[in-house]
Amino acid sequence: MNENKTVINYIFYLQHKDELDNSFYVLADVLSKINISLLPITSDDLKAIDKTKKHHVISIRNDLSSAMAFNNVRKTFLDSAMAGGRIGLFDISSFSEIENAQKLQLKNVYRFFQLPQNLKQIAMTVAVDYFRDRNAVAEWPGGRRAKLPSMTNES
């Protein structure tokens, strides 16, 4: 039997304050048109989610208080989750990249967007990266198995 499973596409929005910024609503509007739900989540909730699969998170650091809250989350949970491949982070910031950004970008778990930029364009880029990551086929990193030459005389 062929079952039709409905896939729910979602990206978490890491909340650094009690109230949501206007940028959340802009991103949520653009992503909803592409069938992606943007779900606000606190750092404590992020630590408690399912750790068996990869989750995607958007974080916006546009003022000093959000940057300090982001650094606290990084110290306690986020850096180790990205290193383990459990979280893919889209870092939208007016500050600089995190320290180990190059290494994390090679693992496809970190993407940095420097503000000021158009949030609608950032949302489209996030959606493309999200679908590319979700539809990527896991492949053995060791390459192909070597084959011995045939022992028959084929000419």
pLDDT grade for 24, boundaries at 50, 70 and 90: confident
* 105 inside domain: yes
Examine the pLDDT at 155 and tell me if it is beyond 60: no
The domain of 62 spans: 10-134
Which strands form 87-93's sheet, in the order they lie side by side? 37-41, 10-14, 55-61, 87-93, 110-114
Examine the pLDDT at 87 and tell me if it is beyond 80: yes
* 48 inside domain: yes
Amino acid at 98: I
* 113 inside domain: yes
Give me the pLDDT at residue 1, please. Answer: 46
pLDDT grade for 35, boundaries at 50, 70 and 90: confident
* 80 inside domain: yes
Q: Which of 69-78, 103-112, 115-124, 139-148 has the lowest mean pLDDT?
A: 139-148
* 152 inside domain: no
* 3 inside domain: no
**What residues have CB less than 8 Å from 20, skipping those under 6 apart?**
13, 40
Mean pLDDT of the chain: 81
* 146 inside domain: no
Return the CATH number at 56.
3.40.50.2300
* 142 inside domain: no
| Domain count across the chain | 1
Q: What is the mean pLDDT of residues 124-134?
A: 86
Give me the pLDDT at residue 10, please. Answer: 87
